[in-house]
Amino acid sequence: MSELINKVTQLLNDKTIDVFIGYEKGSADRIRAAFARTAEQAAKLVYTASCTQNLAGYLMKHEVKKLGKPGLLANVAALRSIMQLASEFQVKDGEVYVLFANADGSFTEFTSFASIEAYLGTTDVGIKSDEQEMIARLEAMSVQERWLFWNKEFDKCIKCYACRAACPMCYCHRCTTDVNQPQWIPVASHERGNLDYHLMRAMHLAGRCVNCGECANACPMDIPLNLLTYQLIDPIKNTFGATAGMKADAVYALSTYKPDDKENFII
Amino acid sequence: MDQQNIYQPYLMQIEKITEEAPGVKTFRLKFTDENEGNNFSFHTGQFGEYSVFGEGEVTFCVASPHTRKGYIECTFREAGRVTTELASLNEGDTIGFRGPYGNIFPIEDWKGKNLLFIAGGIALPPMRSVIWSCLDQRENFKDITILYGARTVADLVYKHELAEWKERPDVNLVTTVDPGGETPDWKGDVGFVPTILDRMQPVSENTIAIVCGPPVMIKFTFPVLEKYGFTDDNVYTTLENRMKCGLGKCGRCNVGKVFVCKDGPVFTRTQLKQLPDEY
Amino acid sequence: MEKELKILKYNDLPKLIERFRTQGYPVLAPVRKNKVVEIETVESLDAVALDALLSTQSAKKAAFPKVEKVIDYTLGKNAVQQVPVNPETHPETILFGVRPCDASGFKSLDAIFGDTPRDEFYLKKKEKTTIVSFSCPVADSYCFCTSVGGGPGNTAGSDIQFTAISKEELLVEILTEKGAKLASHFTDLLSDTKGDIDKNKFLAEVKVVFDMNAVVGKTTASFNNTALWLEQSLRCIGCGACAFVCPTCACFDFQDEQNTKKGVRLRLWDSCGFSLFTLHTSGHNPREVQSQRWRQRIMHKFAYMPEQLHVVGCEGCGRCSRACPVDMNIKEHLTSIGEIVTV
Ligand SMILES: Cc1cc2nc3c(=O)[nH]c(=O)nc-3n(C[C@H](O)[C@H](O)[C@H](O)COP(=O)(O)OP(=O)(O)OC[C@H]3O[C@@H](n4cnc5c(N)ncnc54)[C@H](O)[C@@H]3O)c2cc1C
Ligand code: SF4
Ligand code: SF4
Ligand code: FES
């Protein structure tokens, strides 16, 4: 812990950064995001095994941006978020100071996108085994069964949009659900409104989801909606050879045409 | 009307449509149920929720004077979903109306005083209701001055009424357009509303000023009024926050503890100064 | 009415639901679904999660559902015909097994919807709901009901309250006429209390963490304390989880839905935490940033409602904090407001 605190204090003192986005102790046994701008605030930073929240989403938050140059305590998911945001022109090289938490408790500095890319190239970025199992279960279902499964899950949804708010890739200034001319998605949290919202969200994250799981973690109704976007990871990879959040200058598979793109999805 | 359901609108038929300016129309609305029309009354300054069925509701003030019965009018600018649909409707079509809501311009208290109306752009509608309500009982007021400005000549609304007021010896009408907005045959002033107001050297003695317009206009108009000695109690304006229910329930239109839909939309500058900066 | 005290055998509890169902009353109760506890219609006591600390969402949906029709119409050529939506048609319903903070949470909604003009959609449903609450034998660190005038055995808002006084017996407090009417269906199962029962002995201990009047006063005075609201809300991501699970949050939206022949206007839950909530069509937003929206949440409950409706808009149930994806803890934030040293 003191290594982290010393490092951040030094970064703040020598003005490398204006704010460090890390973790602090939260309520009950929870850990939460912290925004250290002073040595005093830095002294409250912690890093434990429970520090799993992907903090990269805060880079897009208006009031956090206004605090000045950010430093970020990143896990693998956050690194990938930064890469994906970079490829979508949301962050530039050098704009974010990244401190990466290694598995052994030590920290590595990433000062350029190239160094992040290099690291990610040697890392396992796949989804967790229990999630893989769930996806296998879903894929083994008949279309009808899968439809029922999701309908039952969406039935719980209250459209609080916590999933969207927590997702580092849902930074759109005006989300499709918020557009009312035309009203693409019914606003109501009824069967149709919930279904349309989740399908739209999954489609907009296809090939962009960095499998951090923030959406499902955020959901107060315990809907495993990360599985929706996770299920799209392999198809996109197999069809277009692309995995989200690995390269800062990647072009987005679903918005780019290549002459050798497979056309087997056209019936 | 279902007494139990405060959200159920009256059905209204569009009797007449007037094109006021690009994207701005006035609808004259008649109650589909004559009884409802006869029982309906409102006061100047109040507003309502107008609905295009299938699209939703929008908030407009009632632009006609309360002294004229049997119909109401609204003037609106095409802005978003509902207003765009509204603009595409024809005479004879049915829309919904809930209201009247909100507080009023206390014109009873203004009797025996001079009135100075200052309006900018699309903000003439709320003002028009007061102006006509006062003109319909002209003998109760002293001098009536109207200063009205728009971006360009084309953007001026109520052109025929402006002409009528211009003709009247008992109304002093000054119209102005922003620099660059004039046409070769424009006979009015050129300049922003606050500048023209300053040039007019308004008399504050025994005068009520009513100011409606875009936030910038209001911001620069208040100091001019102050310069000529208008006290905050004698300056009136309206606030327009996003509304849904119009009844103090849906929780979105408040400025601090004040609900614009219930406690407003009419405020004196004294009241405005007590409100936090949340509008 | 004077409250009445009775004893019910735990073993007879299933009979209550059975009888309510035979009488035709729908029964809403907490039901466990994996990690969440929902308020749903139940057919028997087996389904009821009586051991749950609190349901994930509050019980407000019994009278203020997330989606509700307020107007209904058919479309003809140029003409619209309205089909009245009658708030009266709601059936007599029993809300069973909820907590005292659920029951008392309705007083905020009563104040908002009961203020003139009366919103009968809510009021009629509320009127037709009989609330049978269970006092709290346990609480967690998110609970702070005692700091906002409630408590684990608070009977305000309940028609009947049960308290487990032993493994075999429940204390039954019949609190209102409505409660008495419902109790008439199980009078035969009730016996008289023997001697004084100290209910407090069977309740969770919930420490008072702040002085409510001080918090109300300081919140009211803190509108312009921008630093306070920013500091509290930097991690807030602007979702609606807190508002939607809250028993007292009443803000709503209207949306129309129609096909070529008919349509409806729906009333939907909305939240002051959403940036869209106050956005003008012009693009101007009076509450442009999240700290202003967070301020609205706190000020509405602790400054505006006390002044206008004479009720504090919070029951201290802590649901918002448990549901919050980023650990915005309202108890902690209110405590820190209470600790502001006014100069
Ligand atoms: C007191 C008052 C008086 C006014 N008087 C006039 C007047 O006389 N003339 C005039 O032209 N204007 C007036 N206005 C302004 C007018 O109300 C707005 O221009 C109008 O509401 C725009 O509506 P719209 O449907 O065109 O816009 P939209 O932006 O499309 O809004 C449509 C409705 O849907 C809501 N909405 C928008 N997007 C979403 C979404 N994604 N999800 C959920 N809900 C959404 C909005 O809250 C709105 O109620 C007045 C406003 C007020 C408050
Ligand atoms: S977080 Fe859960 S309840 Fe909220 S909108 Fe997303 S899926 Fe629905
Ligand atoms: S604000 Fe939070 S603690 Fe208070 S009643 Fe609502 S959900 Fe419960
Ligand atoms: S418009 Fe709903 S509270 Fe004012």
Q: C13-46: per-residue pLDDT in tens?
A: 999 999 999 999 999 999 999 899 999 999 999 9
Exposure class string for B100-135: b at 16+ Cβ within 10 A, else e: bbbbbbebeebeebbbbbbbbbbbbbbbbbbbbbbb
> Residue A45: pLDDT above 60?
yes
Whether A72 lines ligand 2, by a CB cut-off of 6 Å, is no
Whether A223 lines ligand 2, by a CB cut-off of 6 Å, is yes
Alpha carbon of residue B146 to chain centroid: 13
**Residue closest to C31 by CA, chosen among C98, C94, C90, C86:** C98
pLDDT at A265 (0 to 100)? 63
Sequence letter at residue C294: W
Q: Burial of B143 by CB count in 10 Å (0-12 exposed, 13-18 middle, 19+ buried)?
A: middle
Q: How far is A17 from chain B (nearest CA, A)?
A: 32
Exposure class string for C109-147: b at 16+ Cβ within 10 A, else e: bbbbbeeeeebbbbbbbbebbbbbbbbbeebeebbbbbb
CA-CA distance, C296 to A81, in Å (whole number)?
A: 31
**pLDDT tens, position by position, A69-86:** 999 999 999 999 999 999
Whether B79 lines ligand 4, by a CB cut-off of 6 Å, is no
What does the mean pLDDT of chain A come to?
A: 92
pLDDT at A266 (0 to 100)? 62
Q: How far is B133 from chain C (nearest CA, A)?
A: 27
Name the residue with the closest Cα to ligand 3, atom 7: C246
Contact A186 C257 (CB under 8 A): yes
Longest dimension (CA), chain C: 73
Whether B259 lines ligand 4, by a CB cut-off of 6 Å, is yes
The minimum-distance atom of ligand 4 relative to the CA of B253 is: 4
pLDDT at A134 (0 to 100)? 93
Sequence letter at residue B47: F
Which residues 179-238 of A are in CB contact (within 8 Å) with B? 180-181, 183
The minimum-distance atom of ligand 3 relative to the CA of C246 is: 7
Whether C246 lines ligand 3, by a CB cut-off of 6 Å, is yes
Q: Which chains touch C (3 or more CB pairs under 8 A)?
A: A, B
Longest dimension (CA), chain A: 62
The minimum-distance atom of ligand 4 relative to the CA of B262 is: 4
**Residue closest to C184 by CA, chosen among C134, C130, C230:** C130
Output the ligand 1 site: residues, CB below 6 A. A 178, 180, 187; B 47, 56, 58-61, 63, 75-77, 79-83, 122, 125, 240-244, 265; C 253, 276, 281
Contact C272 B251 (CB under 8 A): yes
Predicted confidence pLDDT, tens digits, chain B (279 residues):
556 899 999 999 999 999 998 899 999 999 999 999 999 999 999 999 999 999 999 999 999 988 888 899 999 999 999 999 999 999 999 999 999 999 999 999 999 999 999 999 888 888 999 999 999 999 999 999 999 999 999 999 998 899 999 999 999 999 999 999 889 988 899 999 999 999 999 999 999 999 999 888 999 999 999 999 999 999 999 999 999 999 999 999 999 999 999 999 999 999 999 999 888
Q: What is the 3-state secondary structure (H, E, C) of chain C?
A: CCCEEEEEEHHHHHHHHHHHHHCCCCEEEEEEECCEEEEEECCCHHHCCCCCCCCCCCHHHHCCCCEEEEEEEEECCCCEEEECCCHHHCCCEEEEEECHHHHHHHHHHHHHHHCCCCCHHHHHHHHCEEEEEECCCCCCCCCCHHHHCCCCCCCCCCCEEEEECCCCEEEEEECCHHHHHHHHHHHHHEEECCCCCCHHHHCCCCCCCCCHHHHHHHHHHCCCCHHHHHHHHCCCCCCCHHHHHCCCCCCEEEEEEECCCEEEEEEEECCCCCHHHHCCCCCCCCCCCHHHHHHHHHHHHHHHHHHHHCCCCCCCCCHHHHHCCCCCCHHHHHHHHHCCCCC
Best probe of the B interface among C74, C261, C281, by most B CBs < 10 A, is C281
- Confidence class for position C169, pLDDT limits 50, 70, 90: very high
> Residue A158: pLDDT above 60?
yes
CA-CA distance, A3 to A10, in Å (whole number)?
A: 11
Alpha carbon of residue A21 to chain centroid: 15
Residue A203 to residues A65, A195, A209, A233, A253, Cα–Cα distance (Å)? 28, 12, 10, 11, 13
Whether C290 lines ligand 3, by a CB cut-off of 6 Å, is no
Residue C201 to residues C5, C175, C194, C198, C322, Cα–Cα distance (Å)? 16, 20, 16, 6, 27
Mean pLDDT of A110-127: 92
The minimum-distance atom of ligand 2 relative to the CA of A166 is: 1
Q: What are the structural domain ranges in chain A?
A: 2-120, 129-242
Q: Report the phi/psi class of residue A28: left, alpha or beta, with left for phi > 0 and alpha for psi in -120 to 50.
A: left
Contact C282 B79 (CB under 8 A): yes
Mean pLDDT of A146-152: 95
CA-CA distance, A197 to A161, in Å (whole number)?
A: 10
Contact C286 B256 (CB under 8 A): no
Q: Tokens standing for A190?
A: 């009824």
Mean pLDDT of C106-116: 96
pLDDT at A267 (0 to 100)? 56
Whether A218 lines ligand 2, by a CB cut-off of 6 Å, is yes
Contact C235 A63 (CB under 8 A): no
pLDDT at A1 (0 to 100)? 66
B81 touches chain A (CB under 8 A): yes
Which domains are delineated in chain B? 10-101 (2.40.30.10), 107-238 (3.40.50.80)
Contact A180 B80 (CB under 8 A): yes
**Residue closest to A102 by CA, chosen among A131, A84, A122:** A122
List chain B residues with CB under 8 Å of C267: 7
> Residue A138: pLDDT above 70?
yes
Q: How far is C30 from chain B (nearest CA, A)?
A: 27
List chain B residues with CB under 8 Å of C308: 257
The minimum-distance atom of ligand 1 relative to the CA of C280 is: 29
> Which of the residue ranges A171-185, B126-140, B180-194, C71-85 would you say has the lowest mean pLDDT?
C71-85
Longest dimension (CA), chain B: 57
Query: What torsion do the CA atoms of A196, A197, A203, A205 make, to the nearest 10 degrees?
Result: -170
CA closest to B79 among chain A residues:
A181
CA-CA distance, A163 to A225, in Å (whole number)?
A: 8
Cβ–Cβ < 8 Å for C179, C156: no
pLDDT at A104 (0 to 100)? 84
**pLDDT tens, position by position, C10-19:** 999 999 999 9
Q: How far is A21 from chain C (nearest CA, A)?
A: 10
For residue A133, the tally of other CB atoms under 10 A from its CB is 10
Q: Which ligand is nearest to the CA of A161?
A: 2
Mean pLDDT of A166-191: 93
| Whole-structure pTM value | 0.94
Q: Burial of A67 by CB count in 10 Å (0-12 exposed, 13-18 middle, 19+ buried)?
A: middle
